[in-house]
Structure 1
Amino acid sequence: MGVDATTMVAASERVLARLVEHFDVDFSYLRHTDRERRATVLIAEWPHRGDIPDPDPLKVVHFETADSVFAELEHATEPIVVRPSVESADYQETIRRSSGIPLVAMAAVPLLSRGESTGVLGFIKQGDRDWSTRELNVLKAIAALFAQLQARVVAEERLRYIALHDDLTGLANRRALLEHMEERLHSGSPGPVAAFFLDLDRLKALNDFLGHTAGDNFIRTLSSRLRENLDPNDMIARLGGDEFVIVPAKPMDAVAAELEATRIQQLIGRRVTVGGESVSRGASVGVAVGIPGETTVADVLRRADHALLSAKAGGGNGVAVFTDAMRAQFELQDDVELNLRGAVSDGSLLLHYQPEVDLRTGRIVALEALVRWMHPTRGLLPPGAFVSVAEATNLAGELGRWVIRSACAQFAEWRRRGLATNVVMRINVSPVQLVSLDFVERIEDILRLFGIDGSSVCLEITEHVVVQDLARTQVTLRGLKRMGVQIAIDDFGTGYSSLSHLKALPVDAVKIDRGFVQRLGASTDDLAIVKSIIGLAGSFGLGVVGEGVETPVAARTLVGLGCYRAQGFLIARPMPADEVEPHLVLGRIPLDLDLPRAGRGTPKY
């Protein structure tokens, strides 16, 4: 009962050896029937034949080309006895060629399951041998036990197959992948071991357009293509949806792995006909390499996944290899995710403020509140290091509320002391906050708490936030406008907004993305874009602010185009509240931009 697929051959040979001795025969064998191939397959034999030809003519015998005796075994339900005679000449010749025994007697007893033959238990005696009815009955009982064993092993193998394979494609699943990689990364195994994490780009669009059945057919066709074009020993696993992992059988370093990943990516990109349409999908591939005995399976897959995220961040349809720089980036992300929740409540968050000035006079017209985190081990972190993690872990709302409340508290304190009386406080708003049902009410409560007029506050939203939920955004912004709160679109020009959005939303100003401003004076393309944005803002009656002003030529160019308000490192870097105060006392930040006199007119915004 303890016999399984891995021990069945050895256990069967032990039984055959005892049967050979008990029945005084020269040779015994166990064969199973393969219905799909219409063949009988040798499972075990005793004793082992010497000098077996390659290929072994008795290993797999197809019924349609077999001699008369083997052919009869395909559907036999009763024992078949063959003794030396002219009638069995073809069978005798088969035995003679394979075993060297000239004339034999044979008894073949079918293995029966539900009345059908699933194999045969056979015995061969050199010369002649008569088999009694009693002996044949005993052999039938033994064959029945072998049939039961066969059925149990087949069932167990089927269950194991289901447990280790994806039901849609027949590829290995996650469990099979992990078992395979554990073996490949075991100490002493050949390496390095490469892993490719694949993600199909925009599969959802295919499902939406052609339906999920077509999407499934696309996945199946792609899986077949991978099997046909990769090494048969490569591990190809589907983790579900549009995610696959490939582990090449051959050892590969990072350079070779990147080349192979690029080949696979191009293979995936070929067109497929599904649902009557010829379609294709790109793929993003993350590559990682592990060393047997040194790298764990979890490490390799995590690195490949990180590399995949990097490939997708670059716009998709690319290949990225895990690097030390990625390692540092994702270690930071893990650290941030672990500690950020506590930072919101333990006082380690703080605000810096970056002045926005009139470029012609240096007068401070606004302050942008920018959050910083004094991390316990990594020091002062900028928002880019943790805001995206906050958004991914449902902390964005809590973090955003802290920023708004803290910025308004500081603003109220300055106002109480007679500072920043003609300055607007700019505060960035996350997508989570903007679509929150109680956001307008919370802003109203904070403004009332600190006695701040709504027109003194400007909330900044990025372009991609606008298009995520336009209807909800409209409701929120109109509620804010009723309180007099100003609204600005940050990072404008990066490609998300359209004219219809600007018309549909109660926006007061746009802030030109720093990427365009930084290259003013060096890029005619960026100059044309900035010029268009300023003209667009003017046509809609919107104010315009230049971000990222780092050079005098950029500042002079903005003034020449009619954009007078700006912020950037040339003017002032973000600074703590106590460092901002001297500038607020003075009311301006001295600038020496050598502007033409014509530029010193009434501020446009």
Structure 2
Amino acid sequence: MVPRQTLDSLVTSVASELMGVDATTMVAATQRVLAALVEHFDVDVSYLRHTDRERRATVLVAEWPPREDIPDPDPLAVVEFETADSVFRALEYATEPLVVRPDTDSADYQETIRKSSGIPEVAMACVPLVSRGESTGVLGFVKMGDRVWTSRELNVLKAIAALFAQLQARVVAEEKLRYIALHDDLTSLANRRALLEYMERRLEAGKPGPVATFFLDLDRLKALNDFLGHSAGDNFIQTLARRLETNLEPNDMIARLGGDEFVIVPAAPMDAVAAELEATRIQQFIGRRVSVGQESVSRGVSVGVALGIPGQTSVSDVLRRADHALLSAKSGGGNGVAVFTDAMRAQFELQDDVELNLRSAVSDGSLVLHYQPEVDLRTGRIVALEALVRWQHPTRGLLPPGAFVSVAEATNLAGELGRWVIRSACSQFAEWRQRGLASNVVMRINVSPVQLVSADFVERIEDVLHLFGIDGSSICLEITEHVVVQDLVRTRLTLRGLKRMGVQIAIDDFGTGYSSLSHLKALPVDAVKIDRGFVQSLGDSNDDLAIVKSIIGLAGSFGLGVVGEGVETAMAARTLVGLGCYRAQGFLIARPMPAADVEVQLREGRIPLDLDLPRAGRGVAPS
């Protein structure tokens, strides 16, 4: 600014200086304006203060010239009105300029100045910042000795104070919008955007590291919402947010990504050992009970941990690794802690590879079917074949379904993959039957949830059966137990449509979720297949024996067939027979094999078994 300009031009130049100012440049721009005002009005000090209504205090924004050797804490940084001198107290709600001169009666203020500056007397002009009729701050001037302020000068200072009031209102509005943009509505924690900005700064080259990142996911929060209501769930989340703030360091980043997901980035660097210990500590204090209304509830939390190296690791990579570690922590049933490892990296690299190449595999002939026989344990006779898809990957070799079926479901390829399996299995089945094989064998085909709820699924099955001339009763479609309860109404309609064609229905992996037991009567199901997890330990685990026994009894009471999966020992096979379950499949009997090898078994009609069954168990199996 040009010194000693006219008062009118002074207002214009201040307005120009403040026009493009925001929160980040406000202090520097204010100091420039104050320096010009000090020179123009020939005073010793000028300052700008804002009023904090919640704290009932006046807060220093900027001053000119800056003081030297400022004590810590600065006694002028924040001054509470209740304990301030009479001048500051008078400015709390003032809307007109206040002039203080040595001959005024503000004795306590003059005494304060004398003690702090050693100057016997000062003159002061205090011009309130007024917004919507309310004082929001003050523009002040101090002259060592005496100074007379003209009405013309005070009117100009009121105009300049009004410009500062407008700037303050604009900055407050911008800060409020920025706060909203960077914080979660429910908890007031940082949101995803704030988290990403923070992590970008933490992972810049040269910053201290490693940077630990914790990805938290509450276990079974939906159950709390379902039973106590969403407001209770919100209260639970808010309580946990406050608990995180209380138990973590003030500078730690705590973000809520939505729902029941949180991310924590400690301000201090941490190696993998320290990070795992901290994740366990977080898991423990999060797991403490919370009072929600009249209830006292708790939820476990799964924590995935990943480390980033500043200058080497991107934000997206760290978050992705933490998310992968979280999935690993949850895979064990929840309430676990997992640190991202090289083994996880290999696993998820495989998933990425699968996701990129699976679509072409459906059409380029690299998918193949293997078949696992199901036999009558009493005779070894082959009674069914289960079609199991494999992928002959160009670089990774033959991949089992567990390596790519879940990816297919996550990328909307499950329907296309499922249609290929059904068509290919029925084509092979029809070919065998044309050559006099598998005449008394049922072909079992797994159906994905996506297929089961599609509107045209029944019509597609009917078209395939007609195309290959297969009777519906020769086909058994297998659905997993959790699919049954996902959409019971839709499932019932689909299964009834299939039954009209004679198609058999089996519930696969039965016993892993008892929620479907009550629905068995309502569904047109022919058989249940006992989950391999219960069958493998038969003979060693009394708990598994009790479960298997109850499943077989339940199936019998509903008139359903029952098949034991995962038979790997003769003891398990003998136990099944003793419980009245005669059909089984597993590695003890035969592994899944290509069509050519299965054909050899079909020609024999049975698979020799040496189970040393009691004579009473060797009856002739029904056809």
Is TM-score (shorter-chain normalized) higher than 0.5? yes
Name the counterpart of 1:64: 82
Shift in Å, 1:604: 5.6
Q: In 1, are the aligned partners of 2:538 and 2:545 still within 8 Å (CA)?
A: yes
**Alpha-carbon separation, structure 1, partners of 2:221 and 2:564:** 38
> Equivalent of 1:225, from 219, 224, 243?
243
> Equivalent of 2:609, from 591, 595, 604?
591
| Between 265-274 and 4-13, the greater mean CA deviation after superposition | 265-274
Name the counterpart of 1:301: 319
* Alignment of 1:252 onto 2:302: no
| Between 402-411 and 458-467, the greater mean CA deviation after superposition | 458-467
* Alignment of 1:519 onto 2:537: yes
Instruction: Please show how residues 176-187 of structure 1 align to structure 2 within 5 Å.
Output: 176-187=194-205
Name the counterpart of 2:102: 84
> Equivalent of 2:437, from 393, 396, 419?
419
3-state SS, counterpart of residue 196 of structure 1: strand
Instruction: Please show how residues 358-369 of structure 1 align to structure 2 within 5 Å.
Output: 358-369=376-387
3-state SS, counterpart of residue 61 of structure 1: strand
Name the counterpart of 1:206: 224
**Alpha-carbon separation, structure 2, partners of 1:486 and 1:167:** 51
**Alpha-carbon separation, structure 2, partners of 1:586 and 1:495:** 38
3-state SS, counterpart of residue 514 of structure 2: coil
Q: In 1, are the aligned partners of 2:378 and 2:620 still within 8 Å (CA)?
A: no
* Alignment of 1:122 onto 2:140: yes
**Alpha-carbon separation, structure 1, partners of 2:591 and 2:426:** 20
Name the counterpart of 1:325: 343
Name the counterpart of 1:93: 111
Identity of aligned residues (%): 87
**Alpha-carbon separation, structure 2, partners of 1:88 and 1:227:** 45
**Alpha-carbon separation, structure 2, partners of 1:384 and 1:485:** 26
**Alignment-mate amino acid for residue 333 of structure 1:** Q
Name the counterpart of 2:39: 21
Shift in Å, 1:525: 2.7
Name the counterpart of 2:59: 41
**Alignment-mate amino acid for residue 83 of structure 1:** R
**Alignment-mate amino acid for residue 554 of structure 2:** L
Shift in Å, 1:576: 0.9
Shift in Å, 1:367: 1.2
**Alpha-carbon separation, structure 2, partners of 1:439 and 1:579:** 31
Q: In 2, are the aligned partners of 1:467 and 1:496 still within 8 Å (CA)?
A: no
User: Aligned in 2, Cα 1:541/1:168: closer, same or farther, shift over 3 Å?
Assistant: closer
Q: In 2, are the aligned partners of 1:210 and 1:275 still within 8 Å (CA)?
A: no
> Equivalent of 1:338, from 351, 356, 378?
356
Shift in Å, 1:498: 5.1
Name the counterpart of 2:299: 281
Q: In 2, are the aligned partners of 1:20 and 1:27 still within 8 Å (CA)?
A: yes
**Alignment-mate amino acid for residue 462 of structure 2:** E
| Between 87-96 and 213-222, the greater mean CA deviation after superposition | 213-222
**Alpha-carbon separation, structure 1, partners of 2:219 and 2:97:** 60
Shift in Å, 1:86: 6.8
**Alignment-mate amino acid for residue 154 of structure 1:** V
> Equivalent of 2:448, from 430, 451, 467?
430
Name the counterpart of 2:14: none
| Between 472-481 and 302-311, the greater mean CA deviation after superposition | 472-481
| Between 402-411 and 460-469, the greater mean CA deviation after superposition | 460-469
**Alpha-carbon separation, structure 1, partners of 2:232 and 2:583:** 54
Q: In 1, are the aligned partners of 2:379 and 2:621 still within 8 Å (CA)?
A: no
Shift in Å, 1:407: 0.6
Q: In 1, are the aligned partners of 2:191 and 2:255 still within 8 Å (CA)?
A: yes
Shift in Å, 1:31: 1.3
Taking only aligned residues, the RMSD between alpha carbons, in angstroms, comes to 2.3
* Alignment of 1:460 onto 2:478: yes
**Alpha-carbon separation, structure 1, partners of 2:218 and 2:496:** 40
Shift in Å, 1:497: 5.5
3-state SS, counterpart of residue 593 of structure 2: coil
3-state SS, counterpart of residue 418 of structure 1: coil
| Between 410-419 and 146-155, the greater mean CA deviation after superposition | 146-155
Q: In 2, are the aligned partners of 1:356 and 1:565 still within 8 Å (CA)?
A: yes
**Alpha-carbon separation, structure 1, partners of 2:52 and 2:147:** 30
User: Aligned in 2, Cα 1:539/1:165: closer, same or farther, shift over 3 Å?
Assistant: closer
* Alignment of 1:506 onto 2:548: no
Residue segments in structure 2 that go unaligned for 5+ positions in a row: 1-18
**Alpha-carbon separation, structure 2, partners of 1:96 and 1:336:** 79
**Alpha-carbon separation, structure 2, partners of 1:518 and 1:218:** 41
**Alpha-carbon separation, structure 1, partners of 2:376 and 2:236:** 57
**Alpha-carbon separation, structure 2, partners of 1:212 and 1:539:** 40
Residue segments in structure 1 that go unaligned for 5+ positions in a row: none
Q: In 1, are the aligned partners of 2:304 and 2:322 still within 8 Å (CA)?
A: yes
User: Aligned in 2, Cα 1:152/1:500: closer, same or farther, shift over 3 Å?
Assistant: closer
| Between 212-221 and 24-33, the greater mean CA deviation after superposition | 212-221
* Alignment of 1:3 onto 2:17: no
**Alignment-mate amino acid for residue 415 of structure 2:** G
